[in-house]
A and B are shown apart, each in its own frame.
Chain A
């Protein structure tokens, strides 16, 4: 995809968020962002849950994908990070135990995501 096409898509996504929620993700408050995430996931957004980044190299590659995204590209962030609204795996991994998760703020503090999250959610950037 060309740079111009990417920009067009980003603008279209932003406008779609504004049409539905009255605000773009970059300016949305905690509750609205949370609703944006839940709505997209409940409407069937497929995220890249696999492969789990087993090594730091693989982990860093995902961060490299996330870094250029703007705060308004919420859907891409969810897809790349493999976001789920439930715990994952046999060990029931979840945000609550992730080191990037701020329990009281209910917030993912990983700079590349920087999104609200519920304790029982999960994404493949999970680290303990």
Chain B
């Protein structure tokens, strides 16, 4: 039996909604098959007011062993570092976060906001939001760069806007069943099992990427979304095209560019007008090239690919 507590800070509840849609394993499977005891969760907990507060206090005092502390949303510090804009059970949420993190065996940040600040931390960041252990790419965050939970691990970051439900439940199962030692984390503390490959890995448009045929409108089945519509699939670490959404699709499969939501900079370019859904270029060459590709190589690759492109690459091959 592993006790799990889930709280929300500066959040939209999107990750909770995602979590409740999990299938492999489902949220129910966590309880029935994997021995996770959900002490409290904002959308599932039955307790209200003082009863919730009592649970939190018992976790901090050790009366209840807190095995997994899950946090969704940003740690809000406004105004002036007090955190009073986000009060919960009679005090600033940031205080609860600090004390519960210190008491927990494992701390898991779910979604972009909890991992590195996400949309609320976009400049000018009026809520003075931070992620648990990062603010964008900067290591530190609300808990500090040196934080490790009782089990000796830093915060386990599962980013995404929202995080895919199965990334959440699979990591919770690994932790709850004593396999946390098997988790290998990358430099941003993301489990490598999910975040070593790219969104582009498994994308159905890879043929069009290879032959440099561009999609020029949303929902178009022909063409790659990287060249014109701002898709960040080749630069974003996520398994969105390996572990499909609702088991059937992904943004890029549906004709919607990847927004790069599992990377610390999300939302990119601080959402400046004209930067969303538009590939940013300098003198006609994309500013952000596929990971590991330099400008010279990109230009050579394009010339070769265009020269070798077969006629079918210019057609819509997904006939209904």
Contact = CB atoms under 8 A, between A and B. Distances in A.
A56 B212 CA distance: 20
Nearest to B211: A103
Contact of A128 (B275, B302, B311, B314): B302
Q: How large is the interface on B (under 10, 10 to 19, 20 to 34, 35 or more residues)?
A: 20 to 34
Interface in A7-51: none
Interface string B282-315: 1111100000000000110011001101110010
Contacts of A104: 309-311, 314
A126 B314 contact: no
A100 interface: yes
The 3 A-B residue pairs whose C-beta atoms are closest, nearest first, are A99-B227, A104-B311, A99-B214
Nearest to A93: B284
Contacts of B298: 128
A102 B213 contact: yes
Given A127-B227, A128-B285, A100 B216 contact: yes
A110 B314 contact: no
Interface string B204-228: 0000000011101100000000011
Is chain A's binding surface mostly helix, strand, loop or mixed?
A: loop
Contacts of B87: none
B280 interface: yes
A58 to B, nearest CB: 10
Contacts of A97: 299, 302-303, 306
A101 B309 contact: no
B281 interface: yes
A81 interface: no
A109 B279 CA distance: 16
Contact of A103 (B281, B282, B306): B306
Contacts of A52: 283-284
A105 interface: yes
